[in-house]
Amino acid sequence: MKNKASNDPVEVFAGTPWQAGMVKSLLENAGITAFVQNEIMGTYNPWWTAPGGAGALSVFVAGTDLEAALEIVREYEKNLAE
C-alpha cells in the first residue's frame, strides 16, 4: 500500500463511465479532490483501456485522502449491492 502521507494519486475505484462519475461526485461532495483517468478513451473505446471493456474508467485521489475515499467507495458499493 502507498504511503498515506503521500500526495501521489491512488486509484480507489474502477467502473463504467456512469459509476466513475457517481463516485467522483460523491468524493467531491465530501471535500475530496478526485479525477477520472481514461475518461475519453474509456468511454469511446473501453476495450483499449481495460480487458473486456469492464472497469474502463478509474477514479483517483491523493494518497492523503485514501482512507476517507475508500470509506465512501465502500458505502457506494454496498448501496449498489442492496
pLDDT value for 82: 83
In a domain, 2, yes or no: no
In a domain, 55, yes or no: yes
**Structure-block grid coordinates of residue 16:** 463504467
Q: What letter would DSSP give residue 58?
A: E
44-54 pLDDT tens trace: 554 454 444 55
The CATH number covering residue 54 comes to 3.30.70
pLDDT in tens, the chain (82 residues): 445 568 899 999 998 888 999 999 999 999 999 999 865 554 555 445 444 455 578 999 999 999 999 999 999 999 988 8
**Structure-block grid coordinates of residue 63:** 494518497
Number of domains in the chain: 1
Cα torsion 20, 25, 27, 30 to 10°: value is -170
pTM: 0.75
> Domain of 45?
9-81
In a domain, 52, yes or no: yes
